[in-house]
A and B are shown apart, each in its own frame.
Chain A
Amino acid sequence: MCLGVPGKIIEIYEQGGLLMGKIDFGGVAREVCLAYVPEAKIGDYAVVHVGFALNLLDEAEAQETLALLKEIGLFDEEFGAQTADANEEILTGGTVAGG
């Protein structure tokens, strides 16, 4: 139930006194209530739960996290801690990429 889906805000308007908008989820647009993210601008990304934007996504934080995790991966390649083959199999078996 607490699943939230990230999408891009493509339209902002008011309806019945509520701040509303259209959000594009990978090609599918849905109407979403933006009342809790009054600072939202067109082009921002938000995580949406039961028709409400919970928060906007912070691109700078996202990039920083990914850079940090990539660094951990590089450490792995350089210093070569051995990975169990089984792990590789499960991860490349489509469960992660296809999930």
Chain B
Amino acid sequence: MKYVEEYRDAHLVRGVIDEIRRRVTRPWVLMEICGGQTHAIIRHGLDQLLPPEIELVHGPGCPVCVTPLELIDKALAIASQPGVIFASYGDMLRVPGSGRDLFSVRAAGGDVRVVYSPLDALKIAQQNPEKQVVFFAIGFETTAPANVMSVMQARAVGLKNYSILVSHVRVPPAMQAILSAPHNRVQGFLLAGHVCAVMGYWEYPSLAIQYGVPMAVTGFEPLDLTQGILQTVRMLEEGRVEVENAYPRLVTFEGNRPAQQMIGQVFQERDRKWRGIGMIPNSGWGLRADFDEFNAEKRFDVQQIQPEESPLCIAGLVLQGLKKPHECTAFGVQCTPETPLGATMVSSEGACAAYYRYKRSV
């Protein structure tokens, strides 16, 4: 496939890794923010090809993993109600809430449906006017354009039975939280390429300068990832603190302006709690008051929920890059993709799931 195969060329990847080896003179810790990149790195074994000086730690860029327990519990409460069709991206169905998941709601007779796009949820609402259709709108900046468009369309066509349960988070405040933590080890960042396809990378230079940490916008194929690592290592070795673009075929500095405008019309910034990490100020988006009629938290009474997290799970430390998945005592024992204790073992982007799937234990 064009724009895929050429970025998996083993010969070119090897050339870039050799260049990294030539450039590196001392140890560096780099974080890839995006969980999709974590999976690609582990799947292709790129971390094992890098010189030993380069350590990759895995970031919190897995929306399924960081969606707070309270919201999962709210989803479970809404999905259990009669007359509701609850639509979600497939990844969310097995994420454990306080004691159960969406699959078990479905098994108990709830109408829980997996959709590929929020526009599919919208179609379900149009086809089932007697039901309330609720879409679980989770995600980072990449997914926001789709989720906000579903609300705009619902308003445009006058749909009264569609609402969204929003759990939207943003990358820059999470990076700020990681960088300002006293035990932070991250010295350079691979920025999430598809977040930047939407948002551009104008938000990052001030962050880079404030913390003295260079960053490279990075794509998802092996050649993209090694190129992002090379550019970050070059900056570190040369003492430059900049934000470079290693994914210019898709990402521009400004990003996708129409998408950013639409997000701004529908969402506003708000504090968000990140599962395993805690509250981060202004780290997410919620619906503007003008869109209350599409806000599932207003439409359904789900305010009084007391969540309970598994005491064994160390997902919070994994999401901050402080622990590797196999350092958890429950990893592969009490906690597997079939019986997950934390969301990082469920999601196709969770670091624990990547380590388990690719049998990584060192």
A positions within 8 Å CB-CB of B: 1-4, 6, 8, 16-18, 25-26, 33, 35-38, 45, 47, 49-52, 54-55, 57-59, 61-62, 64-66, 69-70, 72-76, 81, 83, 87-88, 90-92, 95-97, 99
Known: A1-B91, A55-B198. 7 other contacts (CB 8 A): A2-B140, A33-B149, A47-B194, A52-B149, A54-B194, A76-B14, A83-B18
Contacts of B118 in A (CB 8 A): 50-51
Within the complex, which residue of A1, A35, A49, A96 is in contact with B63, where a contact is CB–CB below 8 Å? A1
Q: Are A45 and B3 in contact (CB under 8 A)?
A: yes
- A residues in contact with B34, CB < 8 Å: 2
Contacts of B194 in A (CB 8 A): 2-4, 47, 49, 54
User: Which of A1, A54, A87 sits near B17, CB closer than 8 Å?
Assistant: A87
Query: Which stretch of B249-257, B322-330, B332-340 is in the interface?
Result: B249-257
A51 proximity list for chain B (CB < 8 A): 116-120, 146
Complex Cα–Cα for A47 and B251 (A): 11
Q: Write out the residue numbers on chain A whose beta carbons fall within 8 Å of the beta carbon of B4.
A: 6
Most buried by B among A2, A73, A90: A2
Q: Find the A residue at minimum CB distance from B63.
A: A1
CB of A1 within 8 A of CB of B89, answer yes
- A31 to B: closest C-beta gap in Å: 9
Q: How far is the CB of B116 from chain A (nearest CB, A)?
A: 6
Number of contacts between A and B (CB, 8 Å)? 173
Cross-interface CB contact of A81 among B10, B18, B64, B222, cutoff 8 Å:
B18
Contact B36 A88 (CB under 8 A): no
Contacts of B156 in A (CB 8 A): 16-17
Nearest chain B CB to A9's CB is how many angstroms away?
12
- Supposing A1-B64, A17-B156 touch, asked if A54 and B139 sit within 8 A by C-beta, the answer is no
The reply on B311 being an interface residue by CB < 8 A is no
Contact A16 B157 (CB under 8 A): yes
Residue of A nearest to B141 (CB): A2
